[in-house]
Structure 1
């Protein structure tokens, strides 16, 4: 027997979540870094040495960004921090004002994920960038104030700005990851719900059938010596019932099974009469087609419970347009008021806006299900 298609879906959900997030991160981080890095290169590089310095810093920054999108950046970011620091020192000593770009990018990736002391790390990195940039003033003795502003203050501020942007970017991607995880959990929950529904339907079919088979086989055994023809008839019915159950189980596996209330009603009458229980059916009106299938499930579950748990002599089934009520005598005074099968049905009916009520009084057990009237009918 094949498992319903939705039951296999759990192996598909979640597998591409991390890859989708990685692609999104790559698209939103790497191209802007390349554009800004190349723009600085064209605008500020005044010699081939400046080109080499900035390209090395940009490559280190891009390597860190690429590994960050994969969630494995620390082993790349730490050596990249050293490389870009050397690049910025070389740039400061050769008047390359844009060489700090790689160091500011790598630093901005390292600080936000820290579990604590992020402000201290941010201040230390800003001081490092300022200190390395201040070496420019050591090799030039003109315009000291301007050089300190250009090579120390501006790069430090740029690093603070890029780190603040990374804080916001990381929060954004965290929200996207939470959303993807939430969608994955919802898909898994849907699979679980479908499995529970499938298990409930399988219980309805096979649990009911097995109990009926047990009753009919016991009856055939009693009739075997004194009424062999009737015993053979009971065994033929058992054979037919098992065949029908196999068909229903296949239909359930392929999501093609629908209960027919009329057929369930006729089946319930036959079962009760075979067990020596008098059954009376009262139809107050024709049952609405929209409620027929679920009401058929209620009747089937209740019939099984009566045959299994009660010593009933009489059963009364009342049908209304959008409801059903089954009352039986012979209910035991002890034991749970609501059996597990009815609890599952209550939940299933609630999902369709219907209510299931059970009550026990004076040896009588009442099971009733009702759908609310359509809005048009209540106006």
Structure 2
């Protein structure tokens, strides 16, 4: 594999720890530099990573050893940081959502193509054994022709646990753009791309109260819909009903359920890498749990970046910028449909990502390039 691939991380908030746990000691990559608008936070993070420097964003983007920038900033900064990294000739892997607006996302893809760099986008949870085992079952004909699916995410809101939840209720946030990428990305892997959507949305209240941390009790303004539902028309003919909400308490519904002409699959939470895939056959004796048969085993956040680094002309990256842009297209089209009261056709089309073969942890955690 040669020398480890140099990575620079911009944004060291809550989610960065999960990435660092995967990347800091992985032989395929080396975290060269970290940057954050809070310089002290960058220094603290660098102290936990052998050989990493705490630097300014500008220095990181032009660091001679940084080949790929991992963009973990808040959604409102995704386009700015990703664009600056591309302009500096760096590959980019960005947290979801790809950008806040579709035109920003389209610009990122176009700029990357013109410069000749690669772009990846979270979530990579869909590369784990949960979603990938369900996909293998569908592709293997276990439920016959897929007809429909449901995807449901209901929580009372992230302000209950996150110490700085403002961005969840600002443009680029809300339950759809925050949590929707997990569910919609999984649906693209399972059922293929989407051609059109119909959406509806509402907002329960115009302020939220922070429930933890040093800002406990502080009120923040809600600027986006907090309950979004809709129908996705997949290009292959299946229909998905999607619900994302920061207004409810909980749900007993399966995170994702796929109905086929010969059976039904229950797919685990796409915010996790693994979990039980359950199958009920037409006229079968009852539900059964499928053994994991595909996906990166015991995966964690950052595996999508490793998958991107190991991609080549034969096997494109699975958590790609093109998939991220298509997911963003779906989400912004749902919001536009809700606002305008009409069916909206998408402007993007994407190939269904290449499936992940069953890949033991010792393989993807090594310098070996698995998952072709």
TM-score category (smaller protein): under 0.3
Q: Which structure is larger by alpha-carbon Rg, 1 or 2?
A: 1
- Give the alignment's TM-score, normalised by structure 1: 0.20
Please state which structure has a larger fraction of its residues in strand: 2
Please state which structure has a larger fraction of its residues in helix: 1
